[in-house]
Amino acid sequence: MRARRRVQFILPEPTIEKLDQLKEQMGASSRTEVLKIALELLHWAVVCRAKGEKIAAVRGGEISETIVIPSVSSSESPRR
């Protein structure tokens, strides 16, 4: 089992409200669970972008929106 460490964040109230909304919508047991899932999703997206792939929302077989991740381009390798 990997060692666990406590990390504390100071977040503005609107961010806490979003975090709590996501917790409710996802049925997550805690804010920590939401943040872990969000981190995994961001890591996946950064790895995809590093491989030159685009991240997009697809609706009806058509790209409806492309997601841009600031400071990440296909020429950069993901940091671990």
Model pLDDT, residue 68: 84
80 domain-assigned: no
Number of domains, the chain = 1
Model pLDDT, residue 10: 96
Q: Residue 37 sits in which domain range?
A: 13-67
Q: What is the 3-state secondary structure (H, E, C) of the chain?
A: CCCCCCCCCCCCHHHHHHHHHHHHHHCCCCHHHHHHHHHHHHHHHHHHHHCCCCEEEEECCEEEEEECCCCCCCCCCCCC
5 domain-assigned: no
1 domain-assigned: no
For the chain, 80 residues long, the average pLDDT of each consecutive 10-residue run is 90 97 97 96 92 92 88 55
Both tokens of 73, joined, read: 């381009």
Model pLDDT, residue 80: 43
Q: Which of 58, 79, 56, 59 is nearest to 69 (CA)?
A: 56
4 domain-assigned: no
79 domain-assigned: no
